[in-house]
Amino acid sequence: MHRSTQWVFATLAGISILCGAATVSAAEQEFTTGSSDVIIQFINQQIRQSWTDNEVQPSPVAEDTEWVRRVYLDLIGSIPPVEDVEAFVADKDKAKRAKLIDKLLDDPGYVRNWTTIWTNLCIGQQTPRFVSRDGMQKFFREAFGRNRPWKDIVSDIVTAEGHYEQNGAVNFILAQMQDRDDGVQLTAKTCRLFMGMQVQCTQCHNHPFNDWKQDQFWQFNSFFRQTDKQDHRKFNPQTGRMEDDYAEVKWRDFNGPVYFEKRNGLMQVAFPIYLGSEVNPGAETERRKELAKLMTAGDRPMISLALVNRLWGHFFSYGFTRPVDDIGPHNPATHPELMDRLADEFVKSGYDMKQLMRWVTNSEAYNLTSKGLPKKNDKDNPAAGETALFTHVYVKPMSAEQLYDSLIVATSAHKSGRSGWEQSERQRQQWMQQFVRAFGNDMAEESNSFDGTIPQALMMMNTNPKPAGDTPTLMSGAVSLEAGSHLTDLMTSPGTDVQKIQKLYMAALTRMPTRSELNGLQRFVKSSRDQKAAYQDIFWALLNSNEFILVH
C-alpha cells in the first residue's frame, strides 16, 4: 500500500458500524414496510412480546441506505449499485421496502445467490472428487428459478439417481459418499441439513442430551443402504493415463436389517424406521422414495422447521436455536411459538421459499438498524452467549462469494464488460478458495465466511499488479487506474472533490461520508501531489474497511 494510504486509514478509523449507537427508540412506533400480511403482523407481535418480557427496547428502524444494502446482500448476494440506492432513497412511496423485496425476489441475482448458498451447503465450497459442481448448480438454478416447492426439492435430492450432470441432484449424495462408509456421513448430513437434527454421535452411542438412540441412527441409515456410488474413469491417449470421467448414483440390491455393534460389543439389528414409522424392509421397497414421503408428510414436518430456522438464521445471523441444525427439546428455541407458526404457514403456502423470505424480510425486526441502544438493549448480545432477542440487526461477515460480487458491483465491473457476472464465474470460484478452510472433522465441514482474520486481510490488501500467472488480483483490479476503469471514469467525469468522494462512499459503503470524514479526505486530496493516486488510496481503504466486508 502507498504510505499515503496509511493516513487515509487513520482518517477512516472511525468507520465502524459496530461503534455507533442509536439514539431514538422504536418501541412505540407502528412500523410497516407497506405489507399488511397477517403473518408479518404475527412475527412482529411475537418479537415485541419477547422485548417486553425481557425488559429491552428495540433500536430505531434502519435508514434507507443501511437497509437497502442489507436486503440486497441477503437476497441477491451483493451490495446494490449506486443508481439503485439513489432511486430507492428518492422514492417517497411508503410501501417501497415491500415492493423492493418483491423486485429482488424476481431478480436473476436471487437465483444465483441461493444457488450458491445451497450448492455450498450440499457439496461444500471445495468440490469433492467425482462430484459435479456444475450439475449441483444446474439443479438448484432450475429449482430456484421456478420457485419449486421446498418439499419437492428435498424429495428430488433424497431420491436422486443417475449421472452427476444429467441429474444434478445426485451430487449431494456423491459428496457424502467419498469414504464408502455405508452411508454414515450421508445419514448424518441429511438429518442436519434437511431436518435440523444432529444425530452423528448416535452412530456409536445414545445421544447424551436428547431422545435419539443408537438404534435410531441405524434405522435411519438403513434407508440409504440401497444406494450405490459408481465412479467412472477413461483413458486419455494424450497423457497415457487414466483420468476421472464421471460418477453416478445407482440402486443396489439390499433388503432386511442393518447390523451394528453396541459399545458393549453386542451386535444389534435396525430396520428402516423413520421417527416411529416403519417401512417394509423387503427388496421390493424403494427405501429412499419411502423416506422422502415420510420426510415431507404431515402439517409440520421436520423439513419445514429446519428450513424456517435456517432462513431465520440467514437473515438475522442467529436462528431460533443455536446452532440452526440442532432442533429438539434439548435445545429450546428462543421463540418457539413463532418458529412453529412459521413452519405451519410455510407448509400451507405450498413450501414457497419466496413467501417465507417475504414474511421475514418485511418484519419489523429485520428492518431495524444494527446499532444498539446503550443500557436499553445492550444485553441482547448473542455473540456473548446471550439469548437472541432481535432488538437490532446483528452484524455478520460477508461470505467469500458476497465479497467477490460486491467488489464487482462497487467498481461497476458488472456492467462494463470487463468482468461481468457470467464471465467472472470461474475467476470467482478460484478467488474464493483462498478463504475456504477445511476443519478436518468427521463431517468434512468448511469455513465459508470472510471472517476478517489477518491472513484474509492480507489477501484482500494484496495490490501487487502482476501476481503469479500474470493475473491481477481482484483488489488491484478494483482500484485500477487503467483506461475504462471505475476510478478513471470518476477522475475524468465532471464534479468537485466533494462529489467524487461522495461517489466513492456510495459505491463502496452505500452511504454518504460524515462531515468529519469528508473534511479530512478533502484535505488529503488537496495536499496530494498525485490526485489520481489519492483517490485510489481512498477507494482502496474503503473497500478494505470493516464496514465494507460486514453485513449490517
pLDDT tens sequence across 402-433: 988 898 899 877 555 444 445 556 677 776 66
pLDDT number for residue 25: 45
Q: How far is CA 529 from CA 75, 486, 487, 495, 526, in A?
A: 43, 21, 17, 19, 8
Cβ–Cβ < 8 Å for 368, 392? yes
Q: Examine residue 338 and state whether it is found in any structural domain, yes or no.
A: yes
Alpha-carbon Rg for the chain, nearest whole angstrom, is: 26
pLDDT number for residue 448: 47
Q: Are residues 424 and 390 in the same domain?
A: no
Q: Which of 446, 427, 444 is nearest to 436 (CA)?
A: 446
Q: Point out the domain boundary residue: 340, 374, 394.
A: 394
DSSP per-residue letters across 364-400: TGGGB-S-B-TTTSTT--GGGTPPP--SSPPPEEPBH
pLDDT number for residue 437: 54
Counting every residue, how long is the chain? 552
Round to whole Å and give the CA distance between 288 and 286: 6
Q: Examine residue 332 and state whether it is found in any structural domain, yes or no.
A: yes
Q: Examine residue 25 and state whether it is found in any structural domain, yes or no.
A: no
- DSSP-derived 3-state class of residue 253: coil
Round to whole Å and give the CA distance between 321 and 313: 9
Q: Are residues 276 and 172 in the same domain?
A: yes
Q: Are residues 172 and 312 in the same domain?
A: no
Q: Are residues 533 and 455 in the same domain?
A: yes
Round to whole Å and give the CA distance between 102 and 357: 10
Q: Point out the domain boundary residue: 251, 266, 292.
A: 292
Q: Are residues 258 and 307 in the same domain?
A: no
Per-10-residue mean pLDDT for the chain, 552 residues long? 56 52 53 89 97 97 98 97 96 97 97 96 92 96 98 98 97 92 90 88 51 78 94 92 94 90 82 93 95 96 98 98 92 96 98 98 98 94 95 93 88 59 62 55 47 52 42 62 75 87 94 95 92 88 90 94
Helix (H) or strand (E) segment spanning residue 144: helix 133-145
pLDDT number for residue 10: 58
Q: Are residues 174 and 278 in the same domain?
A: yes
Q: Examine residue 29 and state whether it is found in any structural domain, yes or no.
A: no
Q: Which of 294, 293, 254, 250 is nearest to 270 (CA)?
A: 254
How many other C-beta atoms are found inside a 10 Å radius of the C-beta of residue 128? 16
Reported pTM: 0.90
Q: Who contacts 444 (Cβ-Cβ below 8 Å, separation ≥6)?
A: 124, 178, 185, 438
pLDDT number for residue 3: 45
Beta bridge partners of 236: 241
DSSP per-residue letters across 429-474: HHHHGGG-EE--STT--EE-B----HHHHHHHH---SS-GGG---H
Q: Are residues 533 and 411 in the same domain?
A: yes
pLDDT number for residue 420: 46
Q: Are residues 351 and 418 in the same domain?
A: no
Q: Are residues 324 and 277 in the same domain?
A: no
Q: Point out the domain boundary residue: 292, 309, 325.
A: 292
Q: Examine residue 272 and state whether it is found in any structural domain, yes or no.
A: yes
Q: Are residues 383 and 423 in the same domain?
A: no
Q: Examine residue 127 and state whether it is found in any structural domain, yes or no.
A: no
Q: Examine residue 267 and state whether it is found in any structural domain, yes or no.
A: yes
- Domain total for the chain? 3
Q: Are residues 541 and 421 in the same domain?
A: yes
Q: Are residues 350 and 412 in the same domain?
A: no
Round to whole Å and give the CA distance between 346 and 165: 30
Give the number of C-alpha atoms closer than 13 A to the C-alpha of residue 179, restricted to the C-beta side: 9
Round to whole Å and give the CA distance between 446 and 395: 21
Q: Examine residue 113 and state whether it is found in any structural domain, yes or no.
A: no
Instruction: Quote the domain boundaries for residue 236.
Output: 160-292
